[in-house]
Amino acid sequence: MCGRFTLTTPADAIADLFALAVVPELSPRYNIAPSQPVAAVRERDGERRLDLLRWGLVPSWAKDPAIGNRMINARAETVADKPAFRAAFRERRCLIPATGFYEWKRTEATKQPYLVTAAGDGLLALAGLWELWKVPDGGRLETCTIITTSANDLVAPIHDRMPVILERHDFDLWLTPTTESDRLLQLLRSCDSSALAARPVSTYVNTPRNDDPRCIEPPGTSTGQP
């Protein structure tokens, strides 16, 4: 799964990678958690825009938005058919910028967090879906989910799942609303292991309210532990 990630890349670099017309105003985030606002790139009215969406997709037909707490990830193997995601997969896809994502490796004694980043410390583009839920009082709630797939050789020793990471040349294909499902499904695979790097980090990241540079420090550092 993908349950936490970081976004600390400068805003101008985000705008450049995703060809945004407007440079977003974003603060560095070191521990983005479910139910929080996340930055998402969408194709709207013929241009790419970055908007903040709540992490945890709420289907349009849901009676209670709390269902989004269970919808932070969509499995690539079933995303085209599962009722909660299939409409969004056809019509409402997005890209979620990330500097890195966390996974936890089980040991006999505990679970060790790891931070997975681009091998060259670049920006990652996670495949996502978004949805609109109409609040009973007339308001609007826009939410999103991250698509996951089987882990590659680098991530597999840590966790058996990882987010789908798209290459820049696939952005147009993914964001264009009219792209055929068969072509989209071909993109939903794990990226090459050589494109990523992974390292253990402090258990300070285990607490969602901790959101500062100590989250990405090595285990055992004096400032990195709670």
Question: pLDDT in tens for each of the 226 residues of the chain?
Answer: 799 999 999 999 999 999 998 999 999 999 999 999 999 999 988 899 999 999 999 999 999 999 999 999 999 999 999 999 999 999 999 999 999 999 999 988 889 999 999 998 899 999 999 999 998 777 899 999 999 999 999 999 999 999 999 999 999 999 999 999 999 999 999 999 999 999 999 999 999 999 999 999 999 874 555 4
pTM, two decimal places: 0.95
Structural domain includes residue 119: yes
Range of the domain at 125: 5-216
- Helix %, strand %, coil % of the chain (to 5): 20, 35, 45
Task: Give the CATH number of the domain where residue 93 resides.
Answer: 3.90.1680.10
What is the reported pLDDT for 226? 46
Structural domain includes residue 83: yes
Given a contact cutoff of 8 angstroms between Cβ atoms, the answer to whether 44 and 142 are in contact is no
Task: Give the number of other CB atoms < 10 A from CB of residue 65.
Answer: 16
What is the reported pLDDT for 224? 52
Which tokens in the block code for residue 128?
């996502």
Given a contact cutoff of 8 angstroms between Cβ atoms, the answer to whether 187 and 170 are in contact is yes
What is the reported pLDDT for 25? 92
Which tokens in the block code for residue 16?
């450049």
Given a contact cutoff of 8 angstroms between Cβ atoms, the answer to whether 127 and 188 are in contact is yes
191-210 burial: b if 16+ Cβ within 10 Å, else e: beeebbebeebbbbbbeeeb
Structural domain includes residue 101: yes
Among 173, 123, 121, 174, which Cα is nearest to 147's? 174
What is the reported pLDDT for 220? 84
The C-alpha angle with vertex 44 and arms to 38 and 46, in degrees rounded to 5, equals: 140
Among 97, 65, 89, which Cα is nearest to 163's? 97
Q: Partners of 197 in the beta sheet?
A: 117
Task: Supply the residues annotated as catalytic.
Answer: 2, 103
Which tokens in the block code for residue 160?
């058996």
What is the reported pLDDT for 222? 47
The string of DSSP letters for 109-177 reads S-EEEEEEEETTS--EEEEEEEEEEE-TTS-EEEEEEEEEEE--TTTTTT-SEEE-B--GGGHHHHH-T
Structural domain includes residue 155: yes
- Could you give the CA distance from residue 175 to residue 222 in angstroms, rounded to a whole number? 44
Structural domain includes residue 222: no
Structural domain includes residue 223: no
What is the reported pLDDT for 182? 95
Structural domain includes residue 221: no
Structural domain includes residue 224: no
Count how many domains the chain has. 1
What is the reported pLDDT for 223? 54
